[in-house]
Amino acid sequence: MDGHWAIDLGTTNTVVARDSAGSVEAVRLKALARQLPVEQFPLIPSAVHVYEERGPWWRLFRKTRRAIIGQPALSRNFDGRSPSFSQSFKPMLAMEPHRTLAHLPDGRPVSAREITHLFLAELIRDIRMEHGEKVLDLTIPAPVGYFEHYRAELQAGVRLAGVKRMRSLDEPVAAALGYGVNIGRDEVLLVLDFGGGTLNLAVLRLGPQSAHTGRADVLAKHMVFLGGNNVDVWILNHLFPKLKPGEEWPRNLVWEAIRVKEQLSDQSVVEFEEDGLKAQMTRNDLIEMLTREGLYEQIRVALADIQRQLLESGVDHVDEVLMVGGSTQLPGIPAVVDDFFPTSVVRHDREYVFTSVALGAARYAGGVPVEDFAYHDYAIAVQDEVNHRVEYELVVPRRTRYPTAPDFAMRYYKDYQGMTEVRFAVCEVGRLGQAPVKWERRPNGQLYWAATTDEEKAQVMELNPNDAALPLTPTGQGTNPRLRVTYSINEDRWLCSTVEDLVRKEFIRVDEPVVRLR
């Protein structure tokens, strides 16, 4: 049975996804995937090298325009000077589809419309060759700021490639579906898409109409022509200031700068080595460079403008923030966003920064319902009986679907001699998309973890610091378990608890909301 296909046509990279019988996954197209500076499945460079080929002998004098796309197209343009090469054609398709973006070997022009149609045709052909399936049902999301003629251009292009049915939805709505957000819930959602060439921000009001149509009301938007491509050049200028070329850096040096940039997202120091040039760059060097070039300040200005637009619209909050695009992995970017929206659910997961739009579009095409899930680990702060240090007992693991059963998690807690009250500090662990912590299972069957460094401590946030303690009467005896606590998550994302005093055999708290999970 044919599946539902989706293409996230990006300015820098394109991702293909497929829904088959309710199973949604990013699709590997090995022949096209980005290979430099390292293999980056499932990213396909949005790049085209155009040429012409003669037809069979009975059409000897007719030529057909063809294209090499993806990584092979980049490789054809290794020195960056090929007139038959084009990339970043998506914005031109929306604004000036007739603009010339490349030339055939004989000098004839090729427009943005033709480039896009050739790219889609070759991509769909490669899907059929690698997966043995015709693409008949296809969904391609569109930016919220693009007009309807952009979708019409895409429709015309895929029809030429044999697609029988094409649908579209807003890219931010697709990103929400890809992240697992229930778009049928009334929420205000900010999508921050920071890619190779642009920083796009859009605030949407989601609701039942979004789940039905794939569209949402736009409350605010902001775009900056700034992206990872700028950072690559900054790195080269920083490492080799005396070698700065007159026009642009050679492509092989740019690829090495990209590798350094990507590895510094989670490493402290990286060596640059290419074409006889050697240099070292640290994560702190990168942060200082980004600060000096004004990257963080430009993001703050963009976020401040978003907040201003929201206030003018009468909206005083954002429920969730989705971070998509490879440049969101630059150090310091998530922290800037969280400073502006400290009470929002900030979702920044490396698993989804590149794939959320394509996965969400495939999920939408297949009609797969999406259940909400807890984005981070949630734990109770407890005291280690041996070392008397604070550690954390896991209660809600990340990616727990909700609402849960009423007895989702049950814990027993001891008291100590003379104990008069007890307080449950609920903590979020590993916010802003850092790598999940390594929980350790103890003999009692529960999972624990203790923060030992400043960086690890920064991953923990207590969510209910102002909650009053629960009184214990009579005072603690320090013998058997004193309290039985049952945890659950309701449909509105509230962590609820029921607390039973096992000595008095009565309930202190019954299904009471404690904190709303972020």
Q: What is the mean pLDDT of residues 425-435?
A: 75
Tokens of 511: 């299904």
Pair of tokens at residue 435: 């790598």
The token pair that represents 260 in the structure block: 């350094």
Residue 1: pLDDT band by 50, 70, 90 thresholds?
A: very low
Q: Decide if 170 contacts 141 (C-beta within 8 A).
A: yes
Partners of 440 in the beta sheet?
A: 448
What three-state secondary structure class fits 157?
Answer: helix
pLDDT tens digit string along 10-41? Answer: 888 999 999 987 788 999 999 999 887 667 88
Domains and CATH numbers, the chain: 4-168 (3.30.420.40), 182-350 (3.30.420.40), 377-516 (2.60.34)
Residues 36-85 have pLDDT tens digits of 766 788 999 999 999 988 766 555 566 788 899 999 998 888 766 789 99
Read off the tokens for 500: 């039973």
More confident position, 494 or 209: 494
Q: What is the pLDDT of residue 55?
A: 62
Helix (H, G, I), strand (E, B) or coil at 327: helix
Paired strand residues for 307: none
Residue 244 confidence class, pLDDT cut points 50, 70, 90: confident
pLDDT in tens, 288-341: 999 999 999 999 999 999 999 999 989 999 999 999 998 999 999 988 998 999
Helix (H), strand (E) counts: the chain: 13, 30
| Tokens matching residue 474 | 């009579």
Burial tier of 437 (Cβ tally within 10 Å: 0-12, 13-18, 19+): buried
The 8-class DSSP code of residue 410 comes to E
Read off φ and ψ for residue 81, nearest 5 degrees.
-120, 5
pLDDT of residue 64: 82
pLDDT of 385 over the 70 cut: no
- Name the burial class of residue 51, with classes exposed (0-12), middle (13-18) and buried (19+) by CB atoms within 10 angstroms of its CB: middle
Q: What is the DSSP string of 355-404?
A: THHHHHHHHHHHT-----B--SEEEEEEE-TTT--EEEEEEE-TT-BSS-
5 in Cβ contact with 138 (< 8 Å): yes
Report helix angle 356-366 to 171-179, nearest 10.
90
Encode pLDDT of 149-207 as tens digits.
888 899 999 998 999 999 988 888 889 889 888 888 888 999 998 988 888 888 988 88
By C-alpha distance, which of 374, 506, 500, 392 is closest to 452? 392
- Indicate whether 258 pLDDT > 70: yes
Q: What Rg, from alpha-carbon coordinates, does the chain have?
A: 27
First to last CA, the chain: 39
Residue 118, SS3 per DSSP: helix
Write down the mean pLDDT value for the chain.
88
What does the pLDDT read at residue 297?
96
Using an 8 Å Cβ cutoff, are 341 and 321 in contact?
yes
Report the predicted TM-score, pTM, of the whole model to 2 decimal places.
0.79
Whole-angstrom distance, CA of residue 274 vs CA of residue 262: 16
- Asked whether residue 431 carries a pLDDT value surpassing 70, the answer given is no
Asked whether 120 and 100 are in contact (CB, 8 A), the reply is no
- Residue 421, beta-bridge partner list: 471
The model's confidence at residue 369, banded by pLDDT at 50, 70 and 90, is: low
CB crowding 290-322: b at 16 or more within 10 Å, else e: beebebbeebeebbeebbebbeeeeeeebbbbb
